[in-house]
C-alpha cells in the first residue's frame, strides 16, 4: 500500500511493503557484527549561524529561540547536544560570512547555516548570496565541520525569475559540497498567521515549535553523517 508523508509542497508517497521477518532478522544480525565507526564527543556541539529567525527576535528570551528549542527536542529523542545561538538580527549572508570565524565555538561538530532571508527582503543579487554561502560552507568543510544548510525562499512579489535563482543558490551550494540540506527553514510557518508575530515575518513561540518539529529529522540525519565519517 502507499502512505503519504510530509506536508505542503514537500509531500511524498512511500510504498510500504511487507517484510519477511526472517530476512529482517538476518539484516539486524549482520549489522550487529559490523565494526563501529568513530564516536563523537558527547555532547555534540552545534552552532546555529543565522539571522533574526535564529536569534529569536520578538520572543520571550533566548530560551524560546530556535537553538534552545532544538536542543530540547534533540534531548527528547535521546541526542545529547548543545546548540549555540549564533543568530544576529538583520544579518545577510555577507554578514554571516564576515563573522563566521568568531561565531564558532571550540569543538564545533556541526553548523546549521540559516541565512538569506534578509538578502531576499533587500532584493540582493542571488549570485552574491550564492557566492557567500559557497565560501561559508566550503570553509566549514575544509575545517572538517559538518554542515546543515537551511534553504530560504524569496517573497513572491520579487517575481518567478528572481525566486528561482534565489532558491537555486541554496540547492547548488548544498550539492557542490554534498552537505545535508533542508529546503525551506520556514516550511509550515511562512504565511501562516497563527504561527507568526504581528510583523508577519518572524515566528512566534508556536511557530518556532513547528520549525523545530519539521527540521528535527534532518538535524538527526546530519548528526548521523558526522558519526559515519
* Separation of alpha carbons 54 and 115, rounded Å: 9
Rounded to the nearest 10 degrees, what angle do helices 205-228 and 66-76 cross at? 60
* Separation of alpha carbons 67 and 54, rounded Å: 7
**Residue tagged active-site, from 84, 93, 119, 202:** 202
Q: Cell numbers 511487507 label which residue?
A: 18
* Separation of alpha carbons 177 and 197, rounded Å: 35
| Among candidate residues 151, 152, 91, 157, the one with its CA nearest the CA of residue 118 | 91
Asked about 130 being catalytic, the answer comes back as no
**Residue tagged active-site, from 52, 91, 93, 130:** 52
Q: Is 109 in contact with 44 (CB distance < 8 Å)?
A: yes
* Helix, strand, coil content of the chain in percent (nearest 5): 50, 20, 35
Rounded to the nearest 10 degrees, what angle do helices 160-177 and 126-142 cross at? 10
Asked about 199 being catalytic, the answer comes back as yes
Asked about 227 being catalytic, the answer comes back as no
Residues 6 or more apart whose Cβ sits within 8 Å of residue 76: none
**Residue tagged active-site, from 101, 106, 194, 199:** 199
Q: Is 187 in contact with 214 (CB distance < 8 Å)?
A: yes
- Give catalytic residue positions: 52, 199, 202
Amino acid at each position: 500500500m502507499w502512505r503519504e508523508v510530509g506536508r505542503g509542497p514537500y509531500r511524498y508517497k512511500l510504498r510500504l511493503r511487507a517484510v519477511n521477518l526472517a530476512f529482517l532478522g538476518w539484516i539486524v544480525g549482520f549489522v550487529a557484527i559490523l565494526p563501529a565507526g568513530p564516536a563523537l564527543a558527547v555532547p555534540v556541539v552545534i552552532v546555529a549561524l543565522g539571522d533574526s529567525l535564529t536569534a529569536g527576535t520578538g520572543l520571550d528570551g533566548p530560551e524560546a529561540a530556535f537553538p534552545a528549542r532544538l536542543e530540547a527536542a534533540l534531548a527528547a529523542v535521546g541526542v545529547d547536544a548543545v546548540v549555540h545561538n549564533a543568530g544576529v538580527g538583520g544579518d545577510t549572508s555577507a554578514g554571516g560570512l564576515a563573522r563566521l570565524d568568531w561565531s564558532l565555538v571550540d569543538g564545533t561538530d556541526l553548523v546549521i547555516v540559516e541565512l538569506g532571508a534578509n538578502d531576499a527582503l533587500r532584493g540582493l543579487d542571488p549570485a552574491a548570496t550564492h557566492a557567500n554561502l559557497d565560501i561559508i560552507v566550503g570553509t566549514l568543510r575544509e575545517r572538517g565541520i559538518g554542515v546543515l544548510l537551511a534553504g530560504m525562499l524569496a517573497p513572491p512579489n520579487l517575481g518567478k525569475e528572481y525566486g528561482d535563482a534565489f532558491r537555486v543558490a541554496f540547492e547548488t551550494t548544498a550539492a557542490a559540497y554534498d552537505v545535508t540540506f533542508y529546503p525551506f527553514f520556514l516550511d509550515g510557518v511562512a504565511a501562516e498567521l497563527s504561527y507568526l508575530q504581528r510583523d508577519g515575518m518572524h515566528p512566534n513561540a508556536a511557530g518556532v515549535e513547528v520549525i523545530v518539529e519539521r527540521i528535527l529529522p534532518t538535524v538527526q540525519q546530519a548528526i548521523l553523517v558526522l558519526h559515519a565519517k
